[in-house]
Amino acid sequence: MPRPARRPSAARAPLPGRRVRGSATGRPIMAALDLLGRRWTLRILWELRAAPLTFRALQAACGGLSPSVLQERLTELAAAGLVAAGTRHDGAGYALTPLAGRLLPTLLALEGWAAEWAAALGRAR
């Protein structure tokens, strides 16, 4: 008999003050590392950096991301206060919250470092 599909749960989202993967302390940095280290999470935040996107547009921008994983990550990011739903004029779409916007300079710095790293390896694009 097949198992029922696992539903995304905000209760599983890594948040400060909760036990998270790799740490029982609930320290904010450990929760952030768990959340941001989940597959596709950084890519989703990256693709939302410029403007809100619908679910389908976000899925297409991420390329290769299944709808179930996208929904799970969006649920976790919303529970963590980083993504808001229904942000477009038509009530659709997902966007970064102001809190996530404060993470963008770090992601942009990482983009700069990645370019330097690629150049150092002779693989710049």
Tell me whether residue 2 is in a domain. no
DSSP state of 94: E
In a domain, 77, yes or no: yes
pLDDT 10s per residue in the chain (125 long)? 444 444 445 668 888 888 888 888 888 999 999 999 999 999 999 999 999 999 999 999 999 899 999 999 999 999 999 999 986 677 779 999 999 999 999 999 999 999 999 999 998 66
Phi–psi pair at 85, nearest 5 degrees: -100, 160
Domain carrying residue 61 = 40-120
CATH number where 74 lies: 1.10.10.10
Instruction: Look at residue 34 and tell me if it is in a domain.
Output: no
Rounded Cα gap, residues 63 and 58, in angstroms:
9
Residue 9's pLDDT is: 59
Is 22 domain-assigned?
Answer: no
Asked if residue 12 belongs to a domain, the reply is no
Asked if the structure places residue 20 within a domain, the reply is: no
Structure tokens at 87: 């942000």
Neighbours of 55 (CB within 10 A): 15
Contact indicator for 103, 110 with CB cutoff of 8 Å = no
**Six token digits for residue 76:** 């976790």
Q: How far is CA 52 from the centre of its chain?
A: 14
Q: H helices of 51-95, where? A: 55-62, 67-79
Q: Return the structure tokens found at 30.
A: 């450990």
Residue 17 contacts residue 27 (beta carbons within 8 Å) = no
Number of domains into which the chain is organized: 1
